[in-house]
Structure 1
Amino acid sequence: MSARTRVVCLAGATGTGKTAAAIGLARAFGGEVINVDSRQVYQSLPVLTAQPNDGERAACPHHLYGDTPLDQPVAAGDFAVRARACAADIAGRGRLPLFVGGTGLYFRAILGGLAPIPPVPAEVRAAVAADWDRLGPAAMHARLAERDPDYAAKIAPADRQRVTRALEVEAATGRVFSDWHRQGDPAAPDYDVISLGLALPLEELAHRLARRIEAMAAGGAVEEVRAALDRYPPDVPGLSGIGGPELTAYLSGRCGLGQAKSAWLTNTRAYAKRQRTWFRKEPDIVWFGPGDEAGLLDLVGKRLEGGA
């Protein structure tokens, strides 16, 4: 038997049904789910970030969901260390690690495609944060686009955490973020990876996302953001993901709830397109439509048995 740790990676854009598919795989093959979503790591926002609910978590073990305070930034490299340790523990117990999520950069870091980035000095981080506060998102994203156009094209201008992180790294190391992405991590585990993806036509996905946002807004997302704003300023990392700024604008009186939901949907659709573009460039992913559990189970079963 190969000494390499066998893992399943299940990727796809937001709203494509990864949670249900992951549970089906975990039940069939004795697996445990490891989060690979940069929003779902945060505490206090399970509805807003579409984290697995109590019933879904009861169906199989889930790891690295909702365990990070909202005011704590999460670097991809640091998260990869935690995710790899989690996978090692799962595999050591004779179970199958299932990496599941929609953050391509996290997948790349976990699988060794992102070199470890040295810590950024506090004074550099403070200087970049001050520039963001003084100049605003558009100017800071333009600065990033000038210095690192490849990475700037992958992130939204209003994504404070990612824009400032890239600028911090460039200022501290003299190398743009994209260079670190291309280098690779020599210390990465030698995984035997089964790469799966879920996708569907954009028009169908857009309808799904619209329904999901309505359900989130009615199901507690507004109250989650309100409670978070009682404890934290609106620009903390955990509130920077899509839905956070839009609901913050509503709760601060800058727009109505309908406008907030419309902006939330627009930004979510744009994000889903960026996710699709990222994952479509990954050559080893085998793609399935949502609900094709039989196809997923068949492929994984064959691969685990040593087949094609």
Structure 2
Amino acid sequence: MSKVIAIVGPTAVGKTALSIDLATFFKGEVVSGDSMQVYRHLDIGTAKITSKEMAGIPHHLIDICDVDQRYSVAKFKQEANGWIKEISNSGHLPLIVGGTGFYLQALTNNLSLGGKQDQQRSDMFREHWQHILKEHGAHYVWQQLEKKDPEAARAIPENNARRVIRALEVIETGNQLFSQQQQSRAKDEFLLIGLTTARPVLYERINKRVDLMMNSGLLDEAKWLYDKGGSDLPAGKGIGYHELFSYFAGECSLDEAVGKIKQDSRHYAKRQLTWFRNKMDVHWFDLVSGKNDTNEIKQFIDSWLKK
């Protein structure tokens, strides 16, 4: 059994900088736990770490998919476990870093994700709900989940149709509620380090980050994705992209689109915090306000590693 550090928390709270500090100190390697950073060419809107920022630390599960390829939580769990084993066998410390709550929960809690279900049946089920989604809209599909599994519906925003349909699929084909997926003992031992700060401070950091992204070329990056297929692509649902698609389509002004990115990012951060606090056993630190410092986190991790 390997010991693994996971750094979690909402967007714009400093996870990347901490991960490099810890990886340098503990001789670690980073495995991304972000569902959007798997996509090539989407660098600015996903706040993807740059080669310079990596500071020579090996990073995995970044830039492994084209924007028209679908990446799943099951695939993430399989590949992350593979990297954890390889990194540990090399004598390094695996660090899982990201803010995609369900990905991290599936890995750290070893959630059952359907096992050897009949693939054809699953495909037919998803096709059925995709048809309903086109006819009746995301709110209607989300309402069907709310009727079957209210707890899952509370955790999944209705505009995340792919996750809503996935939850309905688990209920239908797995004979269990999505919110009560079976979990078994994890193969590895995880210590979850969570970063947070006061909500107004976090929201201001998010707003400033969006402005920085726009100044760094997010508009061009989003236009490239829009021209490739936009919202019809698996990668086209990400915050920072789909809001700008409305601008390209002439449905809103650029200022309105940027304001929507900020709003959606703030809402997402709130959902991230709720997920990590309710679904996972996280040890929280606040580096932004100075309430805690990185040395405190290092000492905490060092004590855990020596147990």
Q: CA deviation at 1:270?
A: 1.1
Q: Does 1:205 align with 2:202?
A: yes
Q: How do 1:178-189 and structure 2 match up within 5 A?
A: 178-180=179-181, 183-185=182-184, 188-189=186-187
* 1:8–1:195 CA contact under 8 A, matched in 2: yes
Partner of residue 262, structure 2: 265
Q: TM-score, normalised by structure 1?
A: 0.91
Partner of residue 35, structure 1: 32
* 1:91–1:97 CA contact under 8 A, matched in 2: yes
Between 31-40 and 292-301, report the one with greater CA deviation. Answer: 292-301
3-state SS, counterpart of residue 41 of structure 2: coil
* 2:230–2:245 CA contact under 8 A, matched in 1: no
Q: CA deviation at 1:167?
A: 2.5
**Where does structure 1 differ by over 6 angstroms across 4 or more consecutive aligned residues?**
none
* 1:77–1:114 CA contact under 8 A, matched in 2: no
Q: Aligned equivalents of 1:210 and 1:84: distance in 2? A: 34
Between 21-30 and 63-72, report the one with greater CA deviation. Answer: 63-72
Percent of pairs identical after alignment? 33
Residue segments in structure 1 that go unaligned for 5+ positions in a row: none
Between 194-203 and 106-115, report the one with greater CA deviation. Answer: 106-115
* 1:128–1:168 CA contact under 8 A, matched in 2: no
Between 294-303 and 283-292, report the one with greater CA deviation. Answer: 283-292
Partner of residue 17, structure 1: 14
Superposed CA offset, 1:77-129 (max 9, x none):
22101100011111111100001111221112112341131345322221111
3-state SS, counterpart of residue 10 of structure 1: strand
Q: Aligned equivalents of 1:152 and 1:236: distance in 2? A: 24
Partner of residue 135, structure 1: 136
Partner of residue 231, structure 1: 228
Change beyond 3 A, Cα 1:298–1:173: closer
Corresponding residue to 1:79 among 59, 76, 86: 76
* 1:161–1:237 CA contact under 8 A, matched in 2: no
Q: CA deviation at 1:223?
A: 1.4
Q: Aligned equivalents of 2:200 and 2:230: distance in 1? A: 36
CA RMSD of the aligned region, Å?
A: 1.8
Q: Aligned equivalents of 1:168 and 1:218: distance in 2? A: 41
Partner of residue 153, structure 1: 154
Q: CA deviation at 1:248?
A: 1.0
Partner of residue 254, structure 1: 251
Residue segments in structure 2 that go unaligned for 5+ positions in a row: none
Partner of residue 167, structure 1: 168
Q: Does 1:176 align with 2:181?
A: no
Q: Aligned equivalents of 2:217 and 2:160: distance in 1? A: 23
Superposed CA offset, 1:28-78 (max 9, x none):
010001011122222221111111112122431111012122233332222
Q: Aligned equivalents of 1:282 and 1:146: distance in 2? A: 21
* 1:32–1:98 CA contact under 8 A, matched in 2: yes
Partner of residue 5, structure 1: 2
Superposed CA offset, 1:147-199 (max 9, x none):
2211111122211221222223333334332232xx1046x41x222221100
3-state SS, counterpart of residue 134 of structure 1: helix
* 2:105–2:111 CA contact under 8 A, matched in 1: yes
